[in-house]
Amino acid sequence: MNIEVKNSIKPVDYIDSMKILEQRVKDVSLGKKKELLWVLEHNSVYTAGTSSNNKDLIDKNLHVIKTNRGGKYTHHSPGQKIIYFVLNLNNRKKDIRNLIDKIESCIIQILKEYNIESYNDSKNIGIWVNKEKKTKKIAAIGIRVKKWIAYHGFSLNVCNDLSKYKGIVPCGIKDKGITSLKEMGIKNYRNIETVIIRNFLNIFF
């Protein structure tokens, strides 16, 4: 498989990134361009997925952008790595559960390189860790599939401001917390985009 890899150094506007993703989906579908892996960060933005519920919006004054990815409310901000992809499942396996399994395996492997034990949860999509006897989410997954082209992706909390989640019920899950690599005691995460790209390509290339 031939995947173009992009790593944006400066934060990318959320709406601009969605336009780029949507165009890439069209181009991949028509065979005009390669599949894509894009690692970036966003400035502070709240987004609502296709299954979001207004009761999960605690602070009704928050500006929220509606998006066509799966999932509910989440927050993106500097210090959180966003991993967008456009993958052509027509040339792979037409199996969305298999795709999610691979994404989960990829994130678990990334965290293992930082000696963080993490796991998936069949009832709550995403990747979880145990911290101070509490289950906390460290990575969120939200995808969409159009004509068997899978896109959007996952986010990994590295050193973002976790207090920003207080205005929402993240992913609609009330009884679990949110954490990051920094909160888990990891001090050196400077080249994490390299680790992310290598693990993603190990699974999907």
Instruction: Evaluate the CA torsion angle 175, 176, 178, 182 in order and state its sign.
Output: positive
Whether 159 is a known active-site residue: answer: no
> Amino acid letter at 190?
R
Strands (E), 41-103: 45-48, 64-66, 73-76, 80-88
- Nearest Cα residue to 172 out of 150, 140, 145: 140
CA–CA dist 159, 181 (Å, integer): 6
Strand ranges of the sheet holding 64-66, from the earlier edge strand across to the other edge: 64-66, 45-48, 73-76
> Amino acid letter at 176?
K
Tokens of 106: 């990829």
Annotated catalytic residue: which of 171, 181, 192, 197?
Answer: 171
Catalytic residues: 171
